[in-house]
Homo-oligomer: A and B are copies of this chain.
Amino acid sequence: MSDDDIFRALGDPTRRAIFEKLATGAMNASTLREGMAISQPAMSQHLAVLRNASLVRERRQGRYVNYEVDPDGLARIAGWLARYRAYWPARIDALRDLLKDMDQ
């Protein structure tokens, strides 16, 4: 897990799509694959990259492997971003929403 792993992992649109789908709820690799034009090995490889970047984590459940978003990766991005807050535009609505959530 490093900034390098994280940004590199997110640099691929297919992987971002996988991550996005996972963000709607945990699911196993096969379910993830549904509706996506992607082979089983390709999915497995993408998940390995995402896992290596701490963007996703797995939990074996019988012969299925359940995948879910790993907050660690996201936190790391947030940390990276925070280093440059001096350059942020004065108002970013999405961010403000987020802050409100965290202030509760």
Q: Which A residues lie at the B interface, using CB under 8 A?
A: 3-4, 7-8, 10-11, 13, 16, 23, 69, 71, 74-75, 77-79, 81-92, 94-99, 101-103
Contact = CB atoms under 8 A, between A and B. Distances in A.
Contacts of A3: 10, 16
Contact of A69 (B4, B75, B84): B84
Majority SS of interface residues in chain A? helix
A7 B4 contact: no
A63 to B, nearest CB: 26
Given A4-B13, A11-B7, A96-B102, A81 B87 contact: no
Contacts of A90: 102
